[in-house]
Structure 1
Amino acid sequence: MGQNPAMSMPLLKLQERVYPTIAPWRRDQLARQLDVFPEGQLVAERDDRIVGCASSLVIVWDEWADEHTWREITAAGTFSTHNPEGLTLYGAEVFVDPTLRGQRIGHHLYEGRRQMCRRLNLRRIIACGRLPGYSAVAEQMPVELYVKKVLWGDLVDPVLSFQLREGFRFCGIMSDYLPDVVDSCGHASLIAWVNSGYQSKRPTALQTSSTDTGGLQP
């Protein structure tokens, strides 16, 4: 997995197919993401075509642990909030070709993130996931009860149920995280995966790189 500028157009077309009601990344956003944190941008390929993507940045989680929106934490998709001094890999986006769902592409993208977290010696992965099943029952229950029912196994949410199977812990609700996403009614689930191999007594690979080059990268 990996990403290069030549992949931008097919990636954007795939994103538009997956989320037809949401504006896809712009090419300048992709270019900026690759500039600030190239190793954090993953794609899955099959038969020489892009079938999935996982975009990430590194943050100091204490700066964002309170309520925030996707637009705020990703700097509107430019990832200029990326901070090599951080210990948290933040999952900004994941999408998979809708014709290939159920073929473990999402699992491989999540595993790619976990491997990245271990390789860089980061403490955790945190993300805020859509709740696409919520809008169908929003008039019947608050979002907090909906998530509880997913955790209890009474309901299945296409995203949260998958994330729980991938070993993530549910940590709470972020309201108005994606205000334009209708199927989640703007809400998102805050999830976390803790790197059991994190070594607190040594710097992360990004911190080491920053020191070697004389300071933080832009």
Structure 2
Amino acid sequence: MKKVTVRATKPGDVDALLQLQKRVYPTITPWRRDHLANQLEIFPEGQLIAEMDQHIVGCASSLVILWDEWADEHTWCEITAAGTFSTHNPDGFTLYGAEVFVDPGLRGQRVGHTLYEGRRQLCRHLNLRRITACGRLPGYRAVSHLMSVELYVKKVLWGDLVDPVLSFQLREGFHFCGIMSDYLPEDDDSCGQASLIAWVNPTYDPTRQTALQIASSSLTEFQP
């Protein structure tokens, strides 16, 4: 198995990322180039890519939020400000996973695991309390005429069914927390539904500020 490495996304990676995203999600509207540029400007630490043989094979994008403001039902468009990440808040304690995608020809090569581990390392480094995300349920459409999305997820949790995304996330140590209805309406395979998941940082220290809060305070002190 070839080695997969994770590094911070750079502006020069944008073209390759857009091409990869089109291959992964041919039926979903891709990101806009200016949105990617905005993500890198607002929160560069949260934008990661996976490489294999010096080729980009995966991506993980995230922002920091005040979770109390978003704990109720929300859509991908709302929480990410339509992909611009202008909802990023350095005072927050939650790393929100906005997107993960992997080259479809390399599934099973631990690319997704390496990206998730990169996010966990970032969460620990920044001293954030948790990672949350709303994951697709791409196996649901095939059985949606037989059961509700709630029953589908229960069967995945029980091991009766395997969902390509949720089953992977559970193996990565995330906990299922509920359903987000109409999270991504154009996601036909998931019937627009998503599973809210969370991973709690075991090294989080509530007696310390997060790294982003410290950096923000320093910038404020030096402003004229």
TM-score category by the smaller chain? over 0.9
Instruction: Look up the match of 1:105.
Output: 111
Higher mean C-alpha displacement, 159-168 vs 39-48 = 39-48
Aligned match for 1:30, one of 30, 36, 40:
36
Secondary structure, counterpart of 1:178 in structure 2? coil
Instruction: Look up the match of 2:208.
Output: 202
AA aligned to 2:62 is: S
Aligned match for 1:62, one of 62, 68, 78:
68
Aligned match for 1:214, one of 201, 208, 220:
220
Moved over 3 A (4+): none
Q: CA deviation at 1:26?
A: 1.0
Secondary structure, counterpart of 1:177 in structure 2? coil
Tell me the distance in 2 between the aligned counterparts of 1:200 and 1:52: 32
Aligned match for 1:174, one of 169, 172, 180:
180
Instruction: Look up the match of 2:142.
Output: 136
Indicate the percent of aligned positions where both proteins have the same amino acid.
75
Tell me the distance in 2 between the aligned counterparts of 1:145 and 1:29: 36
Tell me the distance in 2 between the aligned counterparts of 1:210 and 1:162: 35
Tell me the distance in 2 between the aligned counterparts of 1:50 and 1:24: 17
TM-score between the two structures when normalised by the length of structure 2: 0.95
AA aligned to 2:95 is: L
Secondary structure, counterpart of 2:220 in structure 1? coil
Q: CA deviation at 1:118?
A: 0.1
TM-score between the two structures when normalised by the length of structure 1: 0.98
Q: CA deviation at 1:149?
A: 0.1
Gaps of 5+ in 2: 1-6
Q: How many residues align?
A: 215
Tell me the distance in 2 between the aligned counterparts of 1:111 and 1:101: 16
Instruction: Look up the match of 1:82.
Output: 88
* 1:155-208 deviation digits (Å, cap 9, x = unpaired): 000000000000000000000000111000000000000001100010000000
Secondary structure, counterpart of 1:158 in structure 2? coil
Gaps of 5+ in 1: none
AA aligned to 1:17 is: R
Q: CA deviation at 1:42?
A: 0.1
Tell me the distance in 1 between the aligned counterparts of 2:43 and 2:138: 29
Secondary structure, counterpart of 2:48 in structure 1? strand
* 1:28-81 deviation digits (Å, cap 9, x = unpaired): 000000000000000001112100000000000000000100000000000000
Instruction: Look up the match of 1:15.
Output: 21
